[in-house]
Amino acid sequence: MDKFSLLEKIAKKYNKKPIDKIEKILNRINIMTFGIEFLKTPLNCYEYINMGETYAITILQNIETKETIVSSWGDILEEETYCQGDNLIQCIYCGRYMLINEKDYTKTICESCKNDVG
């Protein structure tokens, strides 16, 4: 089994379980890790198992939903920052990034401070 498939299997099995527990499971099957790190993108906050490289495949967990996903933190950051491109707007009041209202961008309300940013 390749590493991606293996991590997906583990991420699925331990979905919503504490990420430090998942790290211990990886260590037990001889996957070397470097602790739990924090990642904040314009859209989400994650904890992830540090594999030592920005684009190394790893398990991340959304802080709010506790969903586990398999990707690299570099890819997630790019996806949730740059690839949103035109769909992303920054609140002029509090600085938070969010997706614009697709139906009517003038009706975009800041998720954080509730100001109208459209």
Tell which one of 7, 26, 51, 91 touches Zn ion (CB under 5 A): 91
Strands ordered across the beta sheet of 36-40: 36-40, 45-49, 58-62, 68-71
- Closest approach of Zn ion to the CB of residue 102, in Å: 19
45 belongs to the binding site for Zn ion (CB under 5 A): no
Which residue reads 């684009």 in tokens? 55
Query: Which range in 32-40, 43-51, 54-62, 110-118 contacts Zn ion by CB under 5 A?
Result: 110-118
112 belongs to the binding site for Zn ion (CB under 5 A): yes
- Closest approach of Zn ion to the CB of residue 41, in Å: 16
Residue 33 vs residues 29, 48, 100, 110: alpha-carbon distances, Å: 11, 10, 37, 37
Residue 72 CA to its chain's centroid (Å)? 9
89 belongs to the binding site for Zn ion (CB under 5 A): no
